[in-house]
Structure 1
């Protein structure tokens, strides 16, 4: 809901407020720390409208009593500065129970269809299940 309403507080509240929180972004960049993510969202969200995020094929795996990961595929559409954008990809969220509350400590997103100009190395060739 926070992404669709461009609500910085709602989105950032699900992440661990720590300089150690790490984000591997869909565009290949890295964001280090909760505060930097908050600043990034504060600069983007005022220019973002009509955001829609859908997730599918959600898999949740617990890792002991205070850890878990969530993996899924996602699609996001939005208007940014009046221009329509659309992206799809895969996402993994690493979560940790902190003070009795589940928080995201790591986000990793990757594009569904990587840049076709990048060569696929022989060691990377696998069959998709």
Structure 2
């Protein structure tokens, strides 16, 4: 009887750390919504994919930025209108789960503007907060 109880406890512990079958797709959906919002010229909607918290960390060419509001302000400064926002595409290279509620994403980004093209790579850490995946760390180069 003790062996059965220990086995049940072990299975329960393993399942507690397991991903839902939809978690990877849910993360990809967050990124797809961001891409779509960006391409509509709606930075405010794009930012909804990020954790709305002062601890959000964005690392870009100018160094680290902390906070959702500051990150939004930087995006608006760097991309003041639809023309500078251009058309965004992502190339997702991998999605790895660190824990049941934390994931690592590696990808590429490309913005085609009328006058040129910007591109680079990003690493993201997403966290499942209140059942919704949010970007909590973004390192884009």
Same fold at TM > 0.5: yes
Rounded to whole Å, the distance in 2 between the matches of 1:31 and 1:48 is: 23
Which has a greater percent of helix?
2
**SS where residue 49 of structure 2 aligns?**
coil
Rounded to whole Å, the distance in 2 between the matches of 1:31 and 1:71 is: 20
In the alignment, structure 2 segments of 5+ residues that lack a partner are 1-35
Are 2:47 and 1:47 aligned? no
Larger radius of gyration: 2
In the alignment, structure 1 segments of 5+ residues that lack a partner are 111-129
Which has a greater percent of strand?
1
Residues 27-57 of structure 1 show CA distances to partners (whole Å, capped at 9, x for unaligned) of 3432211011122234444423261112225
Give 1:34's match in structure 2, choosing from 48, 68, 80: 68
RMSD after superposition: 1.8
Residues 48 and 31 of structure 1: is their aligned pair in 2 closer, same or farther, counting only changes over 3 Å? Answer: farther
Give 2:136's match in structure 1, choosing from 80, 105, 118: 105
Which residue does 2:18 correspond to in 1? none
Residues 4 and 22 of structure 1: is their aligned pair in 2 closer, same or farther, counting only changes over 3 Å? Answer: same
Q: How many corresponding residue pairs? A: 105
Report the alpha carbon displacement of residue 5 of structure 1 after superposing the two structures with TM: 1.6
TM-score (norm 1): 0.71
TM-score (norm 2): 0.66
